[in-house]
Homo-oligomer: A and B are copies of this chain.
Amino acid sequence: MTSPERVAIIGTGMIGTSIGMAAVRAGDAVRGFDTDSDALAKACERAELVPATTLRECVEGSTLVFVCTPVPAVADVVSEALRQAQAAVVSDVASVKARVRQGVSGSTKADELRRYVGGHPMGGSERSGPEHASASVLDGIVWVIDERADGDAADRVEAFVRKVGARPVRMDVERHDRLVAIVSHLPQVASTTLMGLAATEEAGEPEILLLAAGGFRDLTRLAASSPHLWGDILLANGDAVGRAIDLYIERLSSLRELVLAGDAPGVERAFGQAKDARLSLAAKPTVRAGVAVLQVPVPDRPGVLAEVTATMSDAGVNIEDIQIVHSPEGGRGTVHLMVAAGAAEDAERALRERWFEPLRLA
């Protein structure tokens, strides 16, 4: 049993407000502050946060501070919070960690620095703003904690992370930045670059997108993300992103050589390795914040989807997302239902009562 904290949230966007709601649910007292008074008002309406009019007022007397501002502001706000709240452990949620720690170190005294613990709750959502916040956003997600942070301070953050239902993973921050550069930042770069290339070609070949089918759409969906947000993230993780792009270019060049050399076995081998890796990834549950996935085998006939969705409706469960996966053999398929993690049990029970056999993935 951990003792209650007095939690201060600086930056009440989607993730800050969600952390506040989860803390309230866990029995903590929570104050919030945002330079955007509109965002703060919405957050306090949605969550039981006590609004503060200044950063100082927000952190005064707090025991745990989470800095949830956009990436470029994080280091300064963390330093300020460490100065203002002399008894608090201060953490942040930026998706890039080494640069932030450098910034904090540069403007913070050594004895204050011991109370800083870098963190990164992984998962996220395409939605932003306090109106999309929910305590369940944190259910079951991986929450990276800087393994080089002071032991006592890191333990305090880890206890909080467990208390709100997330999975703490201690990791070296340079390593964290290197890994997310490959599995998060590089996909964004690959998608944006492909869309940019096709759009440029379209100027001379207006018919090109006539030939673009489903695969192209899958690959370019991320390209619709916020340019401002992504500019900040890529620049803050510049070295690791640069290296990830280099590795990607290297592999693209090798595949290009195989294709131009007409090396069929070589191309097939490269594709075969990727296929195996993707299939083993597909067998793992989707990590998505606050959402559970129920895999429901169904026959492929009219009406079955209506039965499944009516079952959810009768049980009062909102379907966050739904996907039909056709069996390659035909005749049978699987419906993937995504529901809020907190509603998964109700959903599962209701489905079983109607003789479906859901398998819970995450």
Contacts and interface: CB of A to CB of B under 8 A. Distances in A.
Interface of A: 122-124, 126-127, 131-132, 142, 144, 169, 171, 175-176, 178-180, 182-184, 186-199, 201-202, 205, 207-228, 230-232, 234-235, 238-239, 241-242, 245-249, 251-253, 255-256, 259-260, 262, 264, 267-279, 281-282, 284, 286-288, 300-303, 305-306, 308-310, 312-313, 316-324, 326, 328, 330
Nearest to A171: B207
Contact of A271 (B208, B218, B230, B326): B230
Contacts of A269: 227
Given A209-B183, A255-B193, A220 B317 contact: no
Contacts of A219: 187, 190-191, 218-219, 222
A302 B306 contact: no
Nearest to A191: B219
Nearest to A271: B227
29 contacts: A127-B328, A131-B330, A142-B211, A179-B208, A183-B198, A183-B209, A183-B212, A184-B211, A184-B213, A187-B215, A187-B218, A188-B215, A192-B255, A197-B251, A199-B277, A213-B288, A218-B219, A219-B222, A223-B271, A227-B275, A230-B271, A241-B256, A242-B256, A245-B253, A249-B252, A305-B319, A306-B306, A309-B309, A321-B324
Q: How many copies does the complex hold?
A: 2
B127 A189 contact: no
B245 A286 contact: no
B211 A180 contact: yes
Across chains A and B, which 6 residue pairs bring their CB atoms closest together, nearest first?
A: A227-B271, A199-B277, A303-B313, A306-B313, A306-B309, A195-B274
Contact of A182 (B201, B214, B228, B276): B201
A317 B302 contact: yes
B245 A256 contact: yes
Nearest to A186: B194
Contacts of A319: 302, 305, 324
Contacts of A322: 305, 322-324
